[in-house]
Amino acid sequence: MTTTTTPESAASASPEALPPGQVWSLAEPAPPEEQIEAAQGLKEAVAAKSETAAGIVETLDNMAVSIGHMRISVWDGIVTIGIIVLVITLAWIGSKLAKSFLKRITKLDSTQQLLAEKLLTIAVWAAAFFLGIDLLGIDLTALALFSGAFGLAIGFGLQKTFGNLIAGIILLMDKSIKPGDVIAVTDMAGNESFGQIRKIGIRAVSVTTRDQREYLIPNENLMINQVENWSYSSKNVRMQVPVGVSYNADLDAAEKLMLEAAKGCDRVLKAPPPTVWLSEYGDSSVNFVIQVWIDDPEEGVGNVRSAVLKNLWRLFKENDVEIPFPQRDLNLRNNEQFERLIEALAAREEKRSKG
């Protein structure tokens, strides 16, 4: 049995014919272009309030470029910049308010207050960052592709920065170094000086010396290197003032004058009291060391030593105590060349006197 197919049956078996104008609907629809959600939401809100403003916004929104599936317009840029400025301003105001709130809490000492300020500042800026991400409508899952590269950037490029940040927080937590402490510092030439800690920042500690030189020492260096802190457990610092007197001097009387000179300085503490030690018998003097204590090393130590020595100079002069100076004996042996030199000098002197 044979079956014939007529044109009518073929037409009925084929899909329903579409008008020529609808042929494009058979193609797969193009994906919609992505836009910034905050800009679109603000655009709709402006359109609902004012037609004039809506026209301006529409004009700005039409000035756009497409990058892949992303459409970026002038309006999107304005909204994005506005949100970034708003978030930064809110974060700055929030950190200032948090600091002013902490200053009203009298139970916290200066170190605890500084630590709390840093932690609150970090928390405020982190919250501002995620708030900006949410307002801009950025999907955080899209950033997961860059997490590996970001981790490498932190590991290599920002390693020291994060290390100094953590070191600064640890220094504030254990209170080993805090603002106001006096520590010894060494410059690039190896000369040691001392300075007072003015500020512990995110990256470095600011130390100001007596000559107003400010050293910025990375926090990590203070964690791994030895630090001489003059006011860690107590601000009392003992100073040594070396003094030499003649071998002909009365040592007991000289020692009493040294104690009197030390006690006459305003910054020298009464307790512990000053002491005098005989340190050695030198080449031309008997050497003593005056031990004095002060409780304000940030005001300087050289000026205290100078005041003690000035008082001692005056007392030694009043009591006829000799301060020796190095002396050397020169012995000249007789020889033919030396005798010729003496004769030549004598002849020159005689000629000058006759002339």
pLDDT, greater one: 157 or 287: 287
Distances (CA, A) of 18 to 25, 32, 166: 10, 26, 70
**Distance in angstroms (rounded) separating the CA atoms of residues 334 and 247:** 32
Q: How confident is the model at residue 190 (pLDDT cuts 50, 70, 90)?
A: low
pLDDT at 276 over 80: yes
Tokens coding 202: 């995110």
Q: How confident is the model at residue 309 (pLDDT cuts 50, 70, 90)?
A: very high
242: three-class secondary structure by DSSP: strand
How much is the mean pLDDT over the chain? 76
**Distance in angstroms (rounded) separating the CA atoms of residues 120 and 116:** 6
The closest of 115, 95, 109 to 169, measured between CA atoms, is 115
Q: If you average pLDDT over residues 87-114, what whole number do you get?
A: 75
Read off the amino acid at residue 243. V
Q: How confident is the model at residue 112 (pLDDT cuts 50, 70, 90)?
A: low
In the prediction, which pLDDT does 64 show? 63
Q: Bridge partners of 242?
A: 289
In the prediction, which pLDDT does 66 show? 65
Q: If you average pLDDT over residues 213-233, what whole number do you get?
A: 83
Domains of the chain: 32-140 (no CATH), 174-224 (2.30.30), 234-355 (3.30.70.100)
Where do we find the tokens 């309006």?
A: 75
Tokens coding 189: 């030439």
Which helix (H) or strand (E) is 152 found in, with range?
helix 147-156
Tokens coding 204: 């470095």
Q: How confident is the model at residue 150 (pLDDT cuts 50, 70, 90)?
A: low
Quick check: 184 and 192 in contact, CB under 8 A?
yes
Tokens coding 329: 């004996």
In the prediction, which pLDDT does 101 show? 77
In the prediction, which pLDDT does 5 show? 47
pLDDT at 310 over 80: yes
Q: What is the pTM of this model?
A: 0.51
The closest of 124, 219, 229, 123 to 170, measured between CA atoms, is 219
In the prediction, which pLDDT does 138 show? 65
Which helix (H) or strand (E) is 288 found in, with range?
strand 286-294
